[in-house]
């Protein structure tokens, strides 16, 4: 048992899995899954549990925050809105409709509360620049939130907010995950489906581009259709 424990916000997606792999290099893991009513929550929770088992982590917490669905303002949590296909459509608006107001502020607040209760020294979140259309995915936000944590918690030295993927693109995240032997085969990225990745939503498109850039096959990609005439 090492002396440092990190709380990792682990959605079950590719990015948070790689963030967990980075945190694991520095100490013990405490894994936090927040279900804020996103459409694929059961599938994401399953990925979370599989990744936790892979790392043999016993300190796990799953939190339901229904209120973010009630508050709304986002197609990620409002079934009446359409999920945009691909980056081109997303680029048409300054802030995508998949924006959940102050989502990372809420996720980090929960993670910091748990970290303080556990006497953990850090909170890891897998945010990165390709999401920087979201104002709560920016370096400026994480830095300011870290200051609020330093001022607003009793632990000294203060719990730090760690964003190891912030400056990476999706290809860099895939490469880093592969280097650290992160269980990328257990991760789930699709916003739209909970059985086979749709391959069309923005998250699927980003993931595919990341594996292509990294020159690696996606171990969790949907199986290709068999060639004509195959058994």
Footprint of its own copies on this chain (CB under 8 A)? 61, 63-68, 70-73, 94-95, 99-106, 108-110, 112-114, 116-117, 135-136, 138, 140-141, 143-145, 147-154
Least distance from its own copies to the Cβ atom of residue 46, Å: 20
Nearer CB in complex with its own copies: 108/176: 108
Nearer CB in complex with its own copies: 96/197: 96
How far apart (Å, rounded) are the C-alpha atoms in residues 159 and 115? 8
Residue 29: strand pairing partners: 6
How far apart (Å, rounded) are the C-alpha atoms in residues 38 and 68? 9
For 141-172, letters b (16+ CB in 10 Å) and e give bbeebbeebeeeeeeeebbbbbbbbbebbbbb
Q: Classify the phi-psi angles of 39: left when phi > 0, otherwise alpha if psi is within -120 to 50, otherwise beta.
A: alpha
Least distance from its own copies to the Cβ atom of residue 141, Å: 4
Nearer CB in complex with its own copies: 152/219: 152
Nearer CB in complex with its own copies: 52/176: 52
Least distance from its own copies to the Cβ atom of residue 94, Å: 8
Nearer CB in complex with its own copies: 21/158: 158
Q: Which helix (H) or strand (E) holds 206?
A: helix 202-214
Residue 14, judged by CB atoms within 10 A of its CB (0-12, 13-18, 19+), counts as buried
Least distance from its own copies to the Cβ atom of residue 59, Å: 12
Q: Classify the phi-psi angles of 72: left when phi > 0, otherwise alpha if psi is within -120 to 50, otherwise beta.
A: left
Q: How far is CA 68 from the centre of its chain?
A: 17
Nearer CB in complex with its own copies: 143/179: 143
Bridge-based pairing state of the strands 28-35 and 122-124: unpaired
Least distance from its own copies to the Cβ atom of residue 37, Å: 12
């Amino acid at each position: 048992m090492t002396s440092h424990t990190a709380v990792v916000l682990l959605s079950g997606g590719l990015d948070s899995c790689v963030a967990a792999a980075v945190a694991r290099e520095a100490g013990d893991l405490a894994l936090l899954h927040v279900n804020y009513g996103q459409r694929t929550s059961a599938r994401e929770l399953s990925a979370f549990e599989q990744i936790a088992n892979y790392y043999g982590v016993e300190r796990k917490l799953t939190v339901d925050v229904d209120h973010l669905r009630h508050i709304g303002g986002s197609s990620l949590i409002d079934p009446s809105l359409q999920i945009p296909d691909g980056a081109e459509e997303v680029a048409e608006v300054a802030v995508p409709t998949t924006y959940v107001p102050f989502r990372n502020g809420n996720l980090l607040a929960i993670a910091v509360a748990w970290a303080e209760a556990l006497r953990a020294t850090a909170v890891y979140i897998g945010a990165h620049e390709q999401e920087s259309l979201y104002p709560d995915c920016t370096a400026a936000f994480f830095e300011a939130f870290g200051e609020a944590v330093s001022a607003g918690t009793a632990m000294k030295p203060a719990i730090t907010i760690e964003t190891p993927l912030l400056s990476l693109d999706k290809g860099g995240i895939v490469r880093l995950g592969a280097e650290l032997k992160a269980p990328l085969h257990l991760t789930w990225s699709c916003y739209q489906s909970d059985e086979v990745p749709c391959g069309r939503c923005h998250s699927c498109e980003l993931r595919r581009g990341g594996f292509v850039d990294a020159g690696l096959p996606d171990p969790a990609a949907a199986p290709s259709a068999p060639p004509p005439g195959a058994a």
